Structure 1
Amino acid sequence: MPRSRALRNRFVDAPGSLGERLRVARWERFRRCFPGIESMRVVDLGGTAEMWLRAPARAKHVHLINLEEHPAGLPDWITAEVADVTDPAIAAELSSHGGYDLVFSNSTIEHVGGHSQRLKFVSAVEQLAPLHWIQTPYRYFPVEPHFVAPGFQFLPLTARARLVRHWPLVHSRPDSPESAMNAVINIELLTRAEMRYLFPRSVLLSERVLGATKSLMAVRTEPAC
């Protein structure tokens, strides 16, 4: 394993890492909000089978929707398709199927491509199920979570694109200026005000690290958690 990947693993991905401990704590909070998750049909916008297979919470059924290909050989309680849920036609087709109890989304809304696309994402969330859990990293947390770089999100775009080609904690190092720009331009971290605007009828929860808000979750559940 490259040294940079090993270093990232130590902080973010490996069992026992800070990132893993935070994910476990988030799942525990999720279970408190949705204690009946084992009997729910979940549609996951932007999720992966790997995440659910590692999760301490298992739904009755999970349908994954992502722009990337899904692995073959999924267990019978997970189905998947490649689709863009911000396409109104796709969202309408999915909602016509019915049967979803909960929309789940983890660190996806900040990638969909601008305010108008986020509004389409929210519209899909509202169409697909009566309950939801939509998590996103908080813009003003001191460390940008995708690149594990302090203050990275506050740099000019061109500076971010240059830095990402050399920063040791990136997940996949861009191999050209074009791919570096593509890596950073498609991430728009959200503020608390934006999440309240997008989800006015949801409860907005904060995930904190050392007193600082790291992530925000727009949650609709009954009763409120």
Structure 2
Amino acid sequence: MGFSINTFYQQIFRLWRKKRLVLFQRYISPGKEDLLLDVGGYPIFWTAHAPMVARVDTLNLHCGSFDAERFPEHEIRTLEGDGRALEFADGSYDIAFSNSVIEHVGSWEDQKRFAAEMCRVGKRVWCQTPALECPIEPHFLAPFVHWLPRSWRPFVVCYFTPRGWAAKGNKAAIQEMVDWTRLISKREMKELFPDCQIVTEYLAPFVPKSYIAVRR
């Protein structure tokens, strides 16, 4: 049986996501009548739990699929769109939700557009992202990679991280991973979401793991 980076990631992140869902319920209090937009998410995240809202719309650049017959208790739609330019009216959703996506949308300007769109279409907001200040880079599962000069990162990721080993020397894929991952600091999160509370998840005492912008 060969090494599978995806399986490895799933095992590591499963417990974290379960704890994060508890935080989501505590801070946002989703209700049975709420409409929720998950920007950059997939139905599998929601079908792993009992339904919490009336309907979930998952939105991605490329529209996915959802087997409604397999999960009859869930009301889920898959939509195609760009989180930086949402085609919805202001306050269209009771909850705008995003989990580990804003760090992958591009430049700082792209991230500002993404954050502004979430705050525009959602009455309540939940946007989580890994912390720049955490010494472990979660996408590459290696320490300090994200603190290195950007020009050094492809080489380090390729030869010294599990993600690079799994890519088997595919330098184009590794370069794309590096180019489309921009972690965010707490100061930047406050700037991106000025009317939100910034909640910190911790990897260990005084070591932030991720930040969550919350507007109730």
Q: Normalised by the size of structure 2, how large is the TM-score?
A: 0.87
Check if 1:207 corresponds to 2:205: no
Correspondences of 1:125-140 after superposition (within 5 Å): 125-140=118-133
Distance 1:177 1:161, change over 3 A: same
d(CA) in 2 for partners of 1:57, 1:137: 26
Bigger shift: residues 124-133 or 74-83: 74-83
Aligned to 1:61: 55
Check if 1:38 corresponds to 2:27: no
Distance 1:29 1:153, change over 3 A: same
Identity percentage of aligned residues? 27
d(CA) in 2 for partners of 1:43, 1:2: 36
d(CA) in 2 for partners of 1:29, 1:177: 38
The residue type paired with residue 94 of structure 2 is: D
Check if 1:179 corresponds to 2:176: no
The residue type paired with residue 152 of structure 1 is: V
Match of 2:136 among 140, 143, 153: 143
Bigger shift: residues 187-196 or 148-157: 148-157
1:99-144 per-position Cα deviation (integer Å, ceiling 9, x unaligned): 4100000011111111211121122112212110000000010100
Question: What stretches of structure 2 of length at least 5 have no aligned partner?
Answer: none
Aligned to 1:115: 108
For the residue of structure 1 that corresponds to 2:183, the secondary structure is coil
Matched residues, number = 210
d(CA) in 2 for partners of 1:173, 1:25: 30
Aligned to 2:42: 48
Contact kept? 1:164, 1:173, Cα under 8 Å:
no
Check if 1:217 corresponds to 2:215: no
Aligned to 1:163: 156
Aligned to 1:105: 98
The residue type paired with residue 81 of structure 1 is: L
For the residue of structure 1 that corresponds to 2:52, the secondary structure is coil
d(CA) in 2 for partners of 1:168, 1:118: 26
1:45-77 per-position Cα deviation (integer Å, ceiling 9, x unaligned): 111111111246632211111123412424551
d(CA) in 1 for partners of 2:47, 2:168: 29
Contact kept? 1:103, 1:125, Cα under 8 Å:
yes
Q: Normalised by the size of structure 1, how large is the TM-score?
A: 0.84
Contact kept? 1:27, 1:56, Cα under 8 Å:
no
